[in-house]
Amino acid sequence: MKFILTMYICSAIAQQCGAPIVKTTEYNDWNDCLQNGYSESQLFLSKISPEEINKHQILTKFSCTQKEIGEGV
């Protein structure tokens, strides 16, 4: 069973998220996907200034979805 990570970059002020970002990596289990989701979120946020994060109240959300056998990304 494989999992696909989908990330969302959102603004709490605007109460909306941008288009989903589907990662191409296939994770072997839920834990690997989950851990990578947190790592990718932290990496993304580290590239944005604290001023911008505070101004727009930027946040990340992500989901790990089980990939069906034979399903492409």
pLDDT band, residue 3 (cuts 50/70/90): very high
User: For position 9, what pLDDT does the model report?
Assistant: 97
Whats the size of the chain, residue-wise?
Answer: 73
Report pLDDT for 71. Answer: 58
Q: What is the pTM of this model?
A: 0.85
The predicted structure's pLDDT at residue 67: 87
Residue owning tokens 């839920």: 30
Q: What is the pLDDT of residues 54-70, one digit of tens each?
A: 999 999 999 999 987 66
Provide Rg for the chain, Cα atoms. Answer: 14
